[in-house]
């Protein structure tokens, strides 16, 4: 997207059930976000995945859950709608309660719309969520 002759967003197009969308990493300040809103950006979806930082590290997310929550606030202040993607069952049965509790704790203050990828049975012991990596977390959480 170009605005005032500057490239503001660099990303890739991706198809989806709701049509075309852009996928990108966002590292913009409040002023730039307001400019993006004025240029027509209406909604951003953040892949939070979980409110549990140990699980975020496991899936190689670059920021903490609290940092994601701050980003939600900055986007909302700029007048941009925010959706949050949460991966239900991330961490499998072993971390289900911690994942659910911490995710609710992080998401609730912002009250965003939640979009979730649903696991058939998040408590199933054969969860397909990186079982060998989840085991490596041990009881250190």
- 77: domain CATH number is 3.80.30.20
- C-alpha count within 13 angstroms, C-beta hemisphere, residue 80: 27
Residues 10-25: pLDDT tens digits?
544 455 555 555 555 5
Count of C-beta atoms within a 10 Å radius of residue 46: 19
Please check whether residue 100 lies inside any domain of the structure.
yes
Whether the model pTM is above 0.85: no
Residue owning tokens 């509790």: 101
Residue owning tokens 């949050």: 84
Please check whether residue 104 lies inside any domain of the structure.
yes
Q: Is the pLDDT of residue 103 over 80?
A: yes
Count of C-beta atoms within a 10 Å radius of residue 138: 7
Band the pLDDT of 26: cuts 50, 70, 90: low
Q: Domain range for residue 83?
A: 19-136
More confident site: 20 or 51 = 51
Please check whether residue 43 lies inside any domain of the structure.
yes
Answer whether 104's CB lies under 8 Å from 66's CB.
no
């Amino acid at each position: 997207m170009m605005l005032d002759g500057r490239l503001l967003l660099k990303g890739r197009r991706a198809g989806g059930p709701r049509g075309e969308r852009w996928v990108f990493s966002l590292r913009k300040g409040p002023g730039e976000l307001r400019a993006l809103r004025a240029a027509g950006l209406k909604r951003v979806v953040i892949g939070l995945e979980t409110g549990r930082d140990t699980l975020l590290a496991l899936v190689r997310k670059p920021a903490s859950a609290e940092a994601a929550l701050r980003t939600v606030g900055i986007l909302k202040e700029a007048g941009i709608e925010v959706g949050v993607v949460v991966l239900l069952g991330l961490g499998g049965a072993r971390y289900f309660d911690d994942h659910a509790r911490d995710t609710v704790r992080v998401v609730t203050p912002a009250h965003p719309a939640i979009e979730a990828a649903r696991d058939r049975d998040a408590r199933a012991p054969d969860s397909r969520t990186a079982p060998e990596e989840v085991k490596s977390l041990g009881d250190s959480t």
